[in-house]
Every structure is written in C-alpha cells, then in structure tokens.
Amino acid sequence: MSFIAKPRIDHPGLPKNALGLTRRDYEGSMSTLCAGCGHDSVTAAIVEAVWGLAIRPEQVAKLSGIGCSSKTTAYFVGGGHGFNAVHGRMPSIATGAIAANRDLYYIGVSGDGDTLSIGFGQFAHAIRRNIDMLYIIENNGVYGLTKGQFSASADIGSQAKRGEVNLQPPVDPVLTALTLGCTFVARSFSGDKQQLVPLIQAGLQHRGFALIDVLSPCVTFNDHEGSTKSWRYVRENYEEVVHADYVAAAREITVDYAAGEATEVRLHDGGRIVLRKLDASYDPTHRGRALNYLREKLRQGEHVTGLIYIDQKSPEFHEVNNTSDMPINRIPYERLTPGAKGLAKILSRYR
C-alpha cells in the first residue's frame, strides 16, 4: 500500500484518445492494496482499455462486492458511477441497474471469494440471465483480507504460506461459466497486459455477460514457492490458446495475420473481435470442445488463457425481458409512474 498520492503531472507526450483525454483522465483514487498486488495491474489494464475505447468516464458504471478485489473499482475511472454491494450480491445490483439503464458500460469487479463462495448463486444467475456486463474476477486463490486462508479457487496441492497443503478440489470459474451457458468466457493474467487489455475491450463491447477470470497474484499471502497462483508459477504455467483483439467499427485491421491464422467475430456495434488461435486444434466457438480441452489442460496443471469461448447469437437480457430502450431516469415522470389512480388499478388486480 502506498501513502503518497500519484502527483498530477503528465508526460507531455502522453497520447490522447478520440475524446482528447489521456490515460491519466481515467484513473481513480489512490490504491490502498498491498504494493505489488496483481489487482493494481488489473486496474491499470482497465484504465488503458476504457481509455482506448474512448468511453466517456460518466458512461461507466463500476460495481463490486466485498474483498480486496472489490476495492479495485475505486481505483479506476474516478468520473464513473459506482456501487459497492454487500458481499457476493453485486450481480443483483448489476441486474437491477442494467434493467434500468442500458446506456452504460457495466464493469463488475469481484474476487474468487466474492464470486465462488458467498456469491456463487448470484454469479450463476447473472450468467443465466446473460446480463450485459463485463464481469472481472481477480482470482488469487486466497482470502487476502482475512490473512491468507485457501479460497474456493485454490488448486489441489497448492501450499499456503504457513505450509499447509490444499486438499479440496477448486471451483474453476471458467469451467463453471461454460457449463452455465456464458456467452463470453476468457481467462487472463494480471502480468500480461498485452493479452488483458484487448480482452477487456472485447468484453466491454460484447453484448451479454462477458466473464474474464484474471489470475491476479496475492503478493502478500500467495506469492511463495508451492503456490500455484504466484507471479512465478502463473508465468511458467500459463498457456494462451486464443488471442483476441478488439477492432472498432471505424478502424481498419492494422495487424497482419498469416492466412488462416485469424478469424473474426462480428459484434452488434459493428466492431469485430479478431481471434488468433495459438493452438490450431482449438475452436473458441464450440462449447463442448472447449470444455474438454480445458479439463485436459487442467489435469496437466496448465492455466489456459485467452478468449476461450464466444457466442454472439444467444439472446441477452434486454431482448428476453423486453426492457426499456430509454434509461428510466430519462423517461418523464408522468410516463414512468402510473399515478394514484393507476396504482389503485394495478393493486386491484392482486386483490
């Protein structure tokens, strides 16, 4: 943790996005996480991604629950909206907010405890409803705020800092999301921004629920020999299977891909996600094969990363529930409320 605020001096050569803003304009308040926490790198990646998409800060809604991870939302896009929910209940708040206003970009940041233990039910239903949000799990396999107990995502055989070995099987958020029908499933690593930043951009533009499980080492309680989520272990054992780049509608693809190497997924906003397969046998649009592939790699102790599965066809929350196109805070009061008479009419139906 640092006690010195980042001084407000800019590099004169700092690039500006289409709105004329620099990265610095997308920062939040000073992080009080441990020095070297993976979550701070995720924060930096979100800042970079949102800046790169030239989203106005007030178009962003940041949602979180409880835990080290859930503090993250305070540290990026200080000009955005925010809601810090009860432990594990962020998806309900998000669902309500999304139902009321579809014009915002929803970024939920949660942790392995907040998502896979206390909030597991909420997490499942958010996926089931395919609500239009980016859901980032900052996954470090450990309960940092309560001093380093194993979390539900700790791998079998992983050692705690005190020495005990975890014997219980982990809940893998990526496998879980695939089985629940999630329409955008990705895994990344806080130490690899080249992979993470475009994934966040793709997830923000994806229509429906986009999950990114980010391996984000806990530098204080889970960064030692014997840990399977240390900076070192993840670096040595992560395998990127599909690299995804988001390309906005107006932009040309500037990166050259070898023939047959890249495939495109068209998004509803006209943009594209360019997928570059690093394992030719892999198909990120086939849920069953993706599941098998992941299980196989999991047995080998590998963390598979990249855009693991994407589905643009399944209907998302707004379509299914026929929500208002106009955010309800902009609907005139007279139209929004039934009035005393109307209310009496509605109530009479339930008598």
Can you give the binding site for another protein, defined by CB under 8 A?
1-15, 24, 34-38, 40-41, 43-44, 190-191, 193, 217, 219-220, 223, 231-232, 235-236
Q: Tokens representing 224?
A: 């030692």
Query: Please, what is the minimum distance in Å from the beta carbon of residue 112 to another protein?
Result: 18
Strands 262-266 and 272-277: antiparallel
Query: Please, what is the minimum distance in Å from the beta carbon of residue 37 to another protein?
Result: 8
Do residues 147 and 156 touch, judged by C-beta distance below 8 A?
no
Q: Which is closer to another protein, CB of 192 or CB of 311? A: 192
Q: Tokens representing 138?
A: 């900052």
Q: Which is closer to another protein, CB of 44 or CB of 202? A: 44
Query: Please, what is the minimum distance in Å from the beta carbon of residue 127 to another protein?
Result: 29
Q: Which is closer to another protein, CB of 41 or CB of 122? A: 41
Strands 184-189 and 149-150: unpaired
Q: Which is closer to another protein, CB of 219 or CB of 265? A: 219
Query: Please, what is the minimum distance in Å from the beta carbon of residue 248 to another protein?
Result: 22
Q: Tokens representing 126?
A: 């958010």
Q: Which is closer to another protein, CB of 8 or CB of 351? A: 8
Do residues 272 and 247 touch, judged by C-beta distance below 8 A?
yes
From 273, 278, 214, 275, select the one nearest 240 (Cα to Cα): 278
Query: Please, what is the minimum distance in Å from the beta carbon of residue 32 to another protein?
Result: 11
Distance CA 150, CA 128 (A): 27
Helix H or strand E segment including 150:
strand 149-150
Query: Please, what is the minimum distance in Å from the beta carbon of residue 190 to another protein?
Result: 7
Q: Tokens representing 344?
A: 């009496």
Q: Which is closer to another protein, CB of 75 or CB of 123? A: 75
Distance CA 22, CA 84 (A): 26
Query: Please, what is the minimum distance in Å from the beta carbon of residue 228 to another protein?
Result: 15
Do residues 132 and 106 touch, judged by C-beta distance below 8 A?
yes
Q: Which is closer to another protein, CB of 1 or CB of 255? A: 1
Distance CA 25, CA 71 (A): 19
Do residues 106 and 61 touch, judged by C-beta distance below 8 A?
yes
Query: Please, what is the minimum distance in Å from the beta carbon of residue 2 to another protein?
Result: 4
Distance CA 117, CA 129 (A): 20
From 173, 21, 63, select the one nearest 112 (Cα to Cα): 173
Q: Which is closer to another protein, CB of 3 or CB of 350? A: 3
